[in-house]
């Protein structure tokens, strides 16, 4: 079965510091992986996606993620945090065995940015 | 870009009443739409998959008679919560796949609907 694990339900960084949000996955087939951001009471916005092309994926708002098959990881990073980055972040995996490609989400990581 | 809207954005209703939530793809055709449910401080859980012109596919544990889904056109899917109870209070989010970009497997999410049942 496929699954997604996000390590750390809450991450706090100072403005200007490195952001690292961790995501590990389990999949018996080559995965399609996604990172989404959710602001309070809003839907999800796609940050970036991995679809078996380049292992280092660049997304919007300065975020990037690196797919590491050997570590089954897809961690999200940003060199310098901004106050506006404070939000909930979800790692997701395409569900091959499910309903026409729905997403399997991790439990989310809340990012706080201190001034 | 691909935009998905939901209406209403929030709704408060009395226990026992029914509530309809609309999900629309505004600038693309969506043969497949997904309905997710998100409890406070938790992740999104898939409730059902909606396909235009056919019956929805429900995930295990989701009552199809309680959560009625209709996908009548390529741009509209509706979720009706029948005889709502306080435990149905949640954040409901829909997503849609662009018919013309099916191979990319990308979903576009609506802004969500906050349902509160008193």
Query: For residue range B22-69, what is the model confidence (pLDDT) as tens digits?
Result: 999 998 888 889 999 998 878 899 999 988 888 899 999 999 999 999
Residue A34 is predicted with a pLDDT of 94
**Confidence band (pLDDT; 50, 70, 90) for A102?**
confident
Q: In the predicted model, is pLDDT for residue A99 greater than 60? A: no
Q: Please judge whether B109 and A45 are an interchain contact, meaning their C-beta atoms are less than 8 angstroms apart.
A: yes
Q: Please judge whether B106 and A41 are an interchain contact, meaning their C-beta atoms are less than 8 angstroms apart.
A: no
Q: Does A22 touch chain B (CB under 8 A)?
A: no
Q: What average pLDDT does the structure give for chain A?
A: 91
DSSP string, A33-45: EEEEEE-TT--EE
Percent of chain A with pLDDT over 70: 96
Bridge partners (DSSP) of residue A91 are A35
Residue B16 is predicted with a pLDDT of 96
Closest C-alpha to B67, from B40, B42, B41, B85? B85
Q: Which residue has the tokens 């056919």?
A: B54
Q: Which positions in chain B touch A90 (Cβ < 8 Å)?
A: 43-44
Q: Please judge whether B93 and A105 are an interchain contact, meaning their C-beta atoms are less than 8 angstroms apart.
A: no
* Range among A42-51, A88-97, B3-12, B41-50 rated most confident: B3-12
Between residues B104 and A76, which one has the greater pLDDT? A76
Q: Does A44 touch chain B (CB under 8 A)?
A: yes
Residue B39 is predicted with a pLDDT of 85
Residue B12 is predicted with a pLDDT of 97
Give the number of C-alpha atoms closer than 13 A to the C-alpha of residue B117, restricted to the C-beta side: 16
Q: Please judge whether A42 and B111 are an interchain contact, meaning their C-beta atoms are less than 8 angstroms apart.
A: yes
Q: Please judge whether B112 and A102 are an interchain contact, meaning their C-beta atoms are less than 8 angstroms apart.
A: no
Give the separation between CA B104 and CA A73, rounded to whole angstroms: 21
Residue A100 is predicted with a pLDDT of 67
Give the separation between CA A12 and CA A10, rounded to whole angstroms: 7
Q: In the predicted model, is pLDDT for residue B113 greater than 60? A: yes
Other Cβ atoms within 10 Å of A25 Cβ, number: 20
Chain A residue with minimal CA distance to B35? A102
């Amino acid at each position: 079965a496929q699954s997604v694990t996000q390590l750390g339900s809450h991450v706090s960084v100072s403005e200007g510091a490195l952001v690292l949000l961790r995501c590990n996955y389990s999949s018996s087939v080559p995965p399609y992986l996604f990172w989404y951001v959710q602001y309070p009471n809003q839907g999800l916005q796609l940050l970036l996606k991995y679809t078996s092309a380049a292992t280092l994926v660049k997304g919007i708002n300065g975020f990037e993620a690196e797919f590491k098959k050997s570590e089954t990881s897809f961690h999200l990073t940003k060199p310098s945090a901004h106050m506006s980055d404070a939000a909930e972040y979800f790692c997701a995996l395409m569900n091959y065995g499910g309903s026409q490609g729905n997403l399997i989400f991790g439990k989310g990581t809340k990012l706080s940015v201190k001034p | 870009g691909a935009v998905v809207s939901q209406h209403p954005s929030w709704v408060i209703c009395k226990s026992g009443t029914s509530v309809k939530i609309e999900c629309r793809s505004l600038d693309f055709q969506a043969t497949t739409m997904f309905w997710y449910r998100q409890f406070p401080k938790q992740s999104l859980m898939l409730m059902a998959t909606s396909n235009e012109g056919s019956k929805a596919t429900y995930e295990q544990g989701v009552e199809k008679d309680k959560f009625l889904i209709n996908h009548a056109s390529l741009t509209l899917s509706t979720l009706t919560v029948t005889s709502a109870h306080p435990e149905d209070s949640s954040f409901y989010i829909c997503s849609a796949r662009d018919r013309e970009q099916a191979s990319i497997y990308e979903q576009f999410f609506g802004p969500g609907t906050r349902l509160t049942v008193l």
